[in-house]
A and B are shown apart, each in its own frame.
Chain A
């Protein structure tokens, strides 16, 4: 494996990861898979998606019981890639599935627990090496004691860092002894939860070991100041090795993390948004408009009444106007400023089971992120809009995903015969309408998730190419400001200096 950074602006950088005839451009993301399959997408549908990443992300948690090492060893395959039919990808094996929450209190001195569909499975260093021998991932995250991003005691954090370093030393030792796993690139894991001191210790100590790259675990945007913490952590890492992060995925988070110097992300976010059955149009603050959604159950009761009152023809007209404005203005503004990113100003995301499990009742609410958006259109009923917007801000920190999403599960889309995102070239947008997706969602047809995933992944992958381009063209700063300004107008989040 070879990693070369060819441009750095402040902390943010573009590079190339060379591995097995693949050239992976960074910043980039991996292709999320679960149980060895990209959720909802059969091979042909998957390959219809543009800008498909070269790295497929497998998680030990979802493949250790099925297929498991036994099956792979029994086969004549050289590793799990062939079994899964993903030979054309580079494989990266993480310990946990980033979509599932970390369960606390199950890791022990010598073992890490993963929760498989069949229950808890304890993995020690020997088993981990067995896994590497059988699955033969190109890149593997070392066994690690990951803890949540917040609410941890100093003692627990220290233990997590110590154990993780200990696992790393043992894995390196074992790896050196067996020939079978020498081709595997082991990434050291940076822990430390919310403690800056421990983060830096973890980063520095891990850097001293012979690792091929780093995985930053235990970050979550729900923790305040995560950006600052990430920045400090990355500062303690050497520049010549790739840095991968889990738990950071929405567009504004990604931009912030790229600014800190992160190279690779996982693509679980488009899935989780497909699961919530929303698809998003994200409109930058420069446009002075924003459409986003909020699960009704998260908002107070009186708010729901407001929502109902807002669900009026006037409002719909208003929103349509906004969208039309974007469509019309976009090309000119875009070319005028040659601000490449705007071609991806419309972002999509969509969703699934997790939503219903939490018993959310997906409903649409609108709140302009920039109240000026309504200037010149201020009428009495607009007040309710602003109220809603403000109250939303105060009462609930926005669900990070919502800024970028349109919840298609709302009856207002039942006869909306426009594509999800009109400028999008994905299979879903070029062939189907919002009304059809809405119908598929209410009838609980599997095709809904297939189509939403297709769209969301394509949007997400394209987003990364836009980030790379913006860095290459020295326009990342603009992109970052747009993104973060936008998220700031809704949530008070730390800005990367």
Chain B
């Protein structure tokens, strides 16, 4: 399918099966270093390592593609060393696929003093206080040195809750920056540059952005500017609008999404790739992901709980250790973080495997129903998820009548907070 492209491209995207009910699809995304099965979740290994796990463990966990952060890697170890080491692949000895972000998001999120101009993102280096400028050209150059299979354009990121002319400005600038990134991209036959759709929550702006960016014919396209604290229903609408308009023959990457419920819903909306720090970060805070939500293993109730985290889980942690054991190590030994990171990544990978398998068998709607029922055993689903799934013809057997019950309403809110909080940055405050 991708063969028809005129522009140089270093991937092929072959759809294996499409869900007959929803927009979900499963495909083989062949990248220079690995054949990735989509829909895929990509764990975030910010600085060339996945939070204490070895490359071997990541391979055994079935991670197919992982993320590196251009901003961090450009600072340390720096492009010179990365190039000498044969790119990030060689440096960290990772044989499978890699993706790097553009670095723009970190500048805006980590740095108070970032200033965005037409030229690029101006910021103060946290290391030596020097003023630096990250331009689309510079970002692409660094990413070329890192050598990931997929690289991202520098985009003008605004918070998804921003309204007014700034959103439009950011969207239009992102298009101009895409052109500059394409122009600067030195290795289009080895690395795939993805465009990032901006436009906030405004359907018109999103449409304009998609029109323009699709014309640039990049090997894949990302949906950016979401998952930043916006209302969930608007988030789903925007994702759905984008997947409707994006070409079917190219992979679609939804940035910054990683909660289980969000993954399932967005797969139904036709997204292929996801990334999020959530599973690994929450592991370090002592939280285990399970099909019915989360376990905060630091809590006292687990000190004498001799069950594995999840009886049905096949990960190393669940096979060898109990909740009580992890509870006893948490906060004292780093091994506890490693064990939880292993479990959480395994959980995410298993979820994506299940999604892919159900699409292949054309049983994805049944899978979604089962999944949602397990996550919300009272059949009281978050409204946004219910509506989003209904928009792709999956009806959850929710008891609408019970919603009037005020007790149930409270439950609903609780679930909403626990399992699909608004944004990644709120996770820290979730933790007790």
Contact = CB atoms under 8 A, between A and B. Distances in A.
A440 B49 contact: yes
Given A414-B81, A435-B85, A445-B49, A40 B335 contact: yes
A67 B50 CA distance: 29
A84 B325 contact: yes
Given A76-B306, A414-B77, A436 B92 contact: yes
A415 B333 CA distance: 31
B306 A35 contact: no
B66 to A, nearest CB: 13
B329 A447 contact: no
Q: Which of A45, A77, A446 has the most CB of B within 10 A?
A: A446
A417 interface: yes
B93 A71 contact: no
Contacts of B334: 39-40, 446, 449
B146 to A, nearest CB: 13
A43 interface: yes
* In the complex, the 9 A-B pairs of residues with the closest C-beta atoms, listed nearest first: A446-B52, A447-B49, A67-B328, A443-B47, A37-B335, A66-B328, A439-B77, A42-B338, A445-B49
B166 interface: no
Nearest to B51: A446
B245 to A, nearest CB: 40
A435 B91 contact: yes
Contacts of B306: 75-77, 83
Contacts of A450: 52, 54, 338
A71 B81 contact: no
Interface of B: 47-57, 60, 72, 76-77, 80-81, 84-85, 91-93, 303-304, 306, 316-317, 320-322, 324-325, 328-329, 332-339, 342
Interface stretch (A49-57, A331-339, A425-433): A425-433
A87 to B, nearest CB: 10
A439 B337 CA distance: 21
Given A41-B335, A75-B304, A450-B52, 10 more contacts: A35-B329, A37-B335, A40-B338, A67-B328, A71-B324, A74-B304, A435-B85, A443-B76, A445-B47, A445-B49
B316 A42 contact: yes
Nearest to A447: B49
A397 interface: no
Given A76-B306, A445-B47, A37 B329 contact: yes
A210 interface: no
Given A76-B306, A417-B85, A432 B332 contact: no
A83 B76 contact: no
Contacts of B332: 35, 66, 117
Q: Which of B54, B320, B324 has the most CB of A within 10 A?
A: B54
A85 interface: yes
Nearest to B57: A44
Chain A: interface size category: 35 or more
Contacts of A84: 325
Contact of B52 (A66, A431, A439, A447): A447
Interface in A103-158: 117
A339 B158 CA distance: 67
Contacts of A439: 47-48, 76-77, 81, 91
Nearest to A433: B85
B54 to A, nearest CB: 6
A48 B332 CA distance: 24
Contact of B77 (A35, A431, A435): A435
A182 B410 CA distance: 57
B93 A436 contact: yes
Interface in A20-75: 34-45, 48, 66-67, 71, 74-75
A478 interface: no
Contacts of A74: 304
B342 A42 contact: yes
B57 A45 contact: yes
A447 B49 CA distance: 7
A414 B80 CA distance: 11
A74 to B, nearest CB: 5
Given A435-B81, A446-B51, A451-B54, A38 B335 contact: yes
A303 to B, nearest CB: 27
Contacts of A48: 56
B322 A83 contact: yes
Q: Which of A75, A443, A447 has the most CB of B within 10 A?
A: A447
A443 B53 CA distance: 15
Given A431-B93, A440-B49, A83 B84 contact: no
B339 A42 contact: yes
Contacts of B77: 414, 435, 439
A35 B342 CA distance: 20
B340 to A, nearest CB: 10
Contacts of A1: none
A322 B425 CA distance: 51
B45 to A, nearest CB: 9
A96 B306 CA distance: 27
Nearest to B56: A427
Nearest to B335: A37
B43 to A, nearest CB: 14
Contacts of B316: 42-44
A442 interface: yes
A35 B93 contact: no
A446 B336 CA distance: 12
13 contacts: A40-B338, A41-B335, A43-B316, A66-B332, A75-B324, A83-B322, A415-B81, A417-B85, A431-B93, A432-B93, A439-B81, A439-B91, A440-B49
Interface in A402-453: 414-415, 417, 427, 431-433, 435-436, 439-440, 442-443, 445-447, 449-451
Nearest to B336: A37
A417 B322 CA distance: 40
A33 to B, nearest CB: 9
A447 B81 contact: no
Contacts of A43: 316, 320-321
Contacts of B321: 43, 85
Contacts of A433: 85, 91
A84 B328 CA distance: 10
A31 to B, nearest CB: 14
Given A443-B76, A450-B338, A39 B333 contact: yes
A427 B91 CA distance: 15
A41 B304 CA distance: 23
A36 B332 CA distance: 11
Contacts of A446: 49, 51-52, 334, 337-338
Q: Which of A117, A440, A451 has the most CB of B within 10 A?
A: A440
B54 A45 contact: yes
Contacts of A449: 334
Given A39-B335, A42-B339, A443-B47, A67 B84 contact: no
A34 B335 CA distance: 11
A414 B320 CA distance: 37
Nearest to A62: B332
A317 B49 CA distance: 31
A35 B51 CA distance: 21
Contact of B328 (A36, A435, A436): A36
A83 B325 contact: yes
A45 B55 CA distance: 11
Contacts of A38: 335
Nearest to B50: A447
B23 to A, nearest CB: 38
Contacts of B81: 414-415, 435, 439
Given A67-B328, A71-B324, A445-B49, A42 B85 contact: no
